[in-house]
Amino acid sequence: MFTANLLAIVNSGLLAGQDISILDAILIAVVGMVVVIAILAVIALFILLVSKIMGAIEKAAEKKAPAASPKPAAAPQAPKGFPLPDTQSQGKLQLENVDEPTAAVIMAIVSNQSGIPLNRLAFKSIKLLEDK
């Protein structure tokens, strides 16, 4: 009965104007949820596939022409054994299309909003995504 109802719902493709029971509603809900999950899972698999292909293409291109990538600018570090001053963050920071004053403002905002002193934060890179 359950399977028959399920098949009827899927195959009919159209329940317009028909009254449905609670059991039918539950079946529709189950099938609907499965459809949503299945479609989004297919998309997820597609993304994984594309990212693998793109990764392989990029690796192959890198092997062919190893371009010299600019090394990130080293942030001044405090001598070992000494804590960093409050105004300095940890680690190396790479700036892409962002000037130093803007980067300093961004780091200060993050520090202020998170309530964490700057010398306990490590920024890896700050880059401009879109220049409008």
Partner 1 sequence: MDFIGILQGLWEFSGFSVLDWRNLVMILVSFVFLYLAIAKKFEPLLLVPIAFGILLANLPGSEIMYDSVGLTDFEVQVAEGAHWYDSGVLRLLYIGVKSSIFPCLIFMGVGAMTDFGPLLSNPVSLLLGAAAQLGIYIAFIIAIASGQFTPDEAASISIIGGADGPTAIFLTSKLASHLLAPIAVAAYSYMALIPIIQPPVMKLLTTKKERAVKMTQLRKVSKKEKIIFPVVVLVLTALILPSVIPLLGMFMLGNLFKECGVTERLSDTAQNALTNIVTIMLGTCVGATANGQTFLQTKTLLIVCLGLIAFIFSTAGGVLLGKLLYVLTKGKVNPLIGAAGVSAVPMAARVAQKEGAKTDPTNFLLMHAMGPNVAGVIGSAVAAGFLLMLFEH
Binding site for partner 1 (CB under 8 A): 9, 13-22, 24-26, 28-33, 35-48, 50-51, 54, 58, 114-116, 124
State which residue, 63 or 80, has the beta carbon closest to partner 1. 63
Given the DSSP bridges, would you call strands 94-96 and 125-127 parallel, antiparallel or unpaired?
Answer: parallel
Q: Residue 10 Cβ, how far from partner 1 at the closest point, in Å?
A: 10
Closer to partner 1 by Cβ: residue 43 or 73: 43
How many CB atoms are located within 10 Å of the residue 8 CB?
12
Kindly provide the b/e burial profile for residues 81-104, where b requires at least 16 CB atoms within 10 angstroms of the residue's own CB: eeebeeebbeeebbbeeeeeeebe
Write down the least CB distance from residue 31 to partner 1, Å: 8
Q: How far is the CB of 17 from partner 1 (least distance, A)?
A: 7
Whether the Cβ atoms of residue 131 and residue 97 lie closer than 8 Å to each other: yes
